[in-house]
Amino acid sequence: MPHADPLENVAIEALRIVHYPDPVLRKRARPVEHFGPRLQRLAAKMLELMHKEKGVGLAAPQVGLSMQLFVCNASGEPADDLVCVNPSLHDPDGQEEKDEGCLSITGVTVPMRRAVRITLRACDANGRPFEQRGEQLLARVWQHETDHLFGRLIIDSMSEAVRLENRRAIKQLEDDYVKAQGKAKRRSVGRR
């Protein structure tokens, strides 16, 4: 039996990028069961946020929603905006290590070994299935965003040396998160 539409009570226009260590970034995302106007509005909002932050990909957990959806654009050309719902990756080929950053883990870069070429199978925001073969940056983006859907983050792959290099930025993210939670708690108590 399908679940209720998780977007039914979501203020899509109010969504913002969430940052590490927000717990939603560690959850395994649920498959999308409801397609239609709300999902299309969500995808459009995510693309808007991604472009505003000059990113190349953004997964639903990064806007606080634990659902299997990501958007991406590796070229920067508007025609290359891509919405990927319930994605799966297949037929990886080659390996290459390059530095990666993340819109949810600002100020941190991690060398990541990824497949150079990979096949993506997904649905668009209307529920139509598609398949694409991607290479280089596009393949890397698909792998990075798919990791988000399983609660995996680039910091999980840090060597001890890279962890030391990034410790200040990670500590700042953790401190900022704690402060933001305290402010939110004080606001909710003030409304009672």
Question: Is 145 noted as a catalytic residue in this protein?
Answer: yes
What secondary structure does DSSP assign to the chain, as a single string? -PPP-TTTT--GGG-----TT-GGGGSPPBPP---SHHHHHHHHHHHHHHHHTT-SEEEGGGGT--BSEEEE-SS--GGG-EEEEEEEEEEEE--EEEEE--TTSTT--EEEEE-SEEEEEEE-TTS-EEEEEEEHHHHHHHHHHHHHHTT--GGGG--HHHHHHHHHHHHHHHHHHHHHHHHHHHHHHHT-
Judge contact between 127 and 41, C-beta under 8 A.
Answer: no
Catalytic residue (one of 33, 77, 131, 145): 145
Residue appearing with tokens 């990791």: 147
Closest CA to 85 of 15, 19, 7, 4: 7
Residues labelled catalytic = 145
